[in-house]
Amino acid sequence: MWIFGWKGPSGFSARSTAEEVTQGIDGTGLTAIVTGASSGLGLETTRVLALRGVHVVMAVRNTDAGRNVKEEILKEIPTAKIDVMELDLSSMASVRKFASEYKSSGRPLHILINNAGIMATPFMLSKDNIEMQFATNHLGHFLLTNLLLETMKKTTEESNKEGRIVNLSSEAHRFAYTEGIRFDKINDESGYTSIYAYGQSKLANILHANELTRCLKAEGINITANSLHPGSIVTNLLRHHSYINAIAGFFGRLMLKNVQQGAATECYVALHPQVKGISGEYFMDSNKADPTPQAKDAELAKKLWDFSVSLTDPK
């Protein structure tokens, strides 16, 4: 329905851009980490957060590309506060190194945007021998969030400001495997379907935010965790499917969001006062949306949490 620009209860629509949904918001004094910040939605999110005064730490695999992005943003916004740090979410060692260096830096952390992702890749295993899409899209962010949670709690207590964790999911969570999460078949190459595996990882992003919400509420911690669908956007995520990517590029101008519109919902959930105190929700087009019943399954969320802990346990 976005082509009609219909606005939801928030006052924004699928046509709204990241700049529009953050207009008038002062993020001065806030520090955010954005994963996958050197291209696509992560780049635009970094730019807009910096425009609003947020100190942004770009967590990227390619630090040279990250530094180039930083320089381009500084040309547009000379007052921008941006740092670049290396992070490969498919490697638990890299995630641990990033978290250790971040904590050693003494920086506060108000906002964590788990934005990075890969889509519909051929079957392959991560450095930790876990199916790559599940490892990168879910498990790396799960470990990163857990390792930085104490820093966020400390920041929240000292600043008296709400912390926000934002998981980039997708409507593709509706196209996961039938059982949702294939706990016993995560690395089963014979039953692997790239699109279903992507849907599984995006379902995991929602379940992660929901179970994290339950844990944080139980502790009485002033940190929220939400997930979102950015919209259908032509980025380089589909580079492993050149035919589909070509079709998407051809029809993109008519049917799909641009990157400025695609980054709107994550910027909205990360910064907007309307989202204060809201946790465990799924957003789309800068409004609350309804995910699948599977995505709202509390038992499945808890099972995934325990499974993820076991996989990320250094032993």
Active site residues: 192
CA 310 to chain centre: 22
Task: Collapse the DSSP code of 122 into the 3-class scheme (helix H, G, I; strand E, B; otherwise coil) and give the result.
Answer: coil
For residues 101, 102, 104, 105, the Cα torsion angle rounded to the nearest 10 degrees is 120
Question: Buried b / exposed e across 119-153, counting CB within 10 Å, b at 16+?
Answer: bbbebeebeeebbbbbbbbbbbbbbbbbbbbebbb
List the beta bridge partners of residue 131: 125
What amino acid is encoded at 3 in this protein?
I
Residue pair 31/107 in contact (Cβ under 8 Å)? The answer is yes
Task: Give 30's Cβ-side CA count (13 Å radius).
Answer: 24
For residues 164, 199, 214, 45, the Cα torsion angle rounded to the nearest 10 degrees is 0
Residue pair 131/125 in contact (Cβ under 8 Å)? The answer is yes
Residue pair 153/164 in contact (Cβ under 8 Å)? The answer is no
Cα separation, 225 vs 113, in Å, equals: 10
